Amino acid sequence: MVAVFGVVALFAYLAIANFVPKEDRVVSGFWPDDGLRLGLDLQGGIHWVVGVAIEDAINHELVFVQENMREDLGEGELSTIDIVVDGNALRVQSSEPADLARARAAADDSGVLQESASQDGVVEYILTDSWTQEIRERTMMQVLEVLRRRINDPVRGIPDSVVTRQGADRVLVQIPGGQIDRGRARELLKSTGFLEFKIVKDRADDEDRLQARYPDGWPEETEVVVERDPETDSVVSAYLVSNSADLTGDYLEDARVGFDQQQRPLVNFRFNPEGGRQFGEITEQNIGALLAIILDKDVYSAPSIKSRITTRGQITGRFSSQEAADLAVVLRAGALSVPVVIEEERTVGPALG
């Protein structure tokens, strides 16, 4: 009986604490900091099922294998051998039997390909079942880790949230109570968070004007990225850049919200030592050039490089304090290796009666 009374008293103590303002709980020292933690079914909240684009991860792996095969075969062999990634398959083609045999040997040496079809000088490969499963597990672990870091961010985290795997290629996310705006939470989940730094090769006010300078087509291994006005979504600048990044956000160590002299929000970031070394080399060799800062293929800003920069930098743009804070959260958590899509979304009402 005493034990039962003790349990009831403890439950009442924790439950009453929920109705005491948090700052008063901290000051008094009598009440617990967090009170009684209620599940989603009791306090309500947001419930999402997020799908993970595993097929994209498989495609990325095939592109990686393709590049390795090309490197192994050398430039001379590539003139007679065509190696193409088509969806979830890698296709090797050559009219020369000896060259096709060499390409087959390179595919075998990869250790992760199995032949799925062969006809008239064309051989098609897919990833082995074991390696496909390895890619699947690795991708799901990475997505889970990144989403957990975003939702449970040390600066702007959401207490008692649930981020867990559901089935082969889905993630369950539950955010209790009204702790975050639904739109903000959705953007935190969906943003890939892939940050790139690229030296600008050319710039114009819009893509048409930029393209007019290249009547024969864009230079090889380049792409065009644009900067948009966040209010109108209209293009304000178009940039010609390399299709590969000079540096990525993989080397970021931290990102925090700050303000410039006019009190406009920005994001201060810091690289780790290796990232700082690379960033220093890039900026030192390109003083006077524009450096496009690109997140998920959108240009946030493209400042002029005035001097060598190493470990610290800033991302400025036309965003609000809230948008800057959310950007910092995404950058701290790291990039998703593949896109995710919200497949199921519903609001769970509290059931306290």
What does the DSSP assignment read for 265-326? EEEEEEE-HHHHHHHHHHHHHTTTSBEEEEETTEEEE--B--S---SEEEE--S--HHHHHH
Predicted local confidence at residue 78, as pLDDT: 64
- Identify the bridge partners of residue 82 per DSSP, sorted by sequence position: 93
> Please, what are the domains in the chain?
55-128 (3.30.70.1020), 195-333 (3.30.1360.200)
Closest CA to 343 of 184, 148, 166, 139: 166
pLDDT in tens, the chain (353 residues): 555 555 445 445 444 544 444 444 444 454 454 544 444 454 567 889 999 999 999 998 998 899 888 888 876 666 788 899 988 999 999 988 888 998 999 999 889 999 999 998 899 999 999 999 999 999 999 999 888 888 877 666 676 788 999 999 999 998 886 666 777 778 778 787 888 999 999 999 999 999 999 999 999 889 999 998 877 889 999 999 998 899 998 899 898 888 888 888 989 999 999 999 999 999 999 999 999 999 888 898 898 998 898 988 888 877 788 888 888 888 888 888 888 999 998 876 655 43
CA 68 to chain centre: 25
Sheet holding 89-93, edge to edge: 82-86, 89-93, 122-127, 113-119
**Both tokens assigned to 134:** 């390895």
Q: What angle do CA 138, 140, 142 make, to 5 degrees?
A: 70
Report whether 174 contacts 40 (CB < 8 A). Answer: yes
What is the pTM (predicted TM-score) of this model? 0.68
Cβ–Cβ < 8 Å for 338, 139: yes
How many angstroms separate the CA atoms of 224 and 207, rounded?
8
Map residue 116 onto helix, strand or coil.
strand
Are 15 and 305 contacting, i.e. CB atoms less than 8 angstroms apart?
no
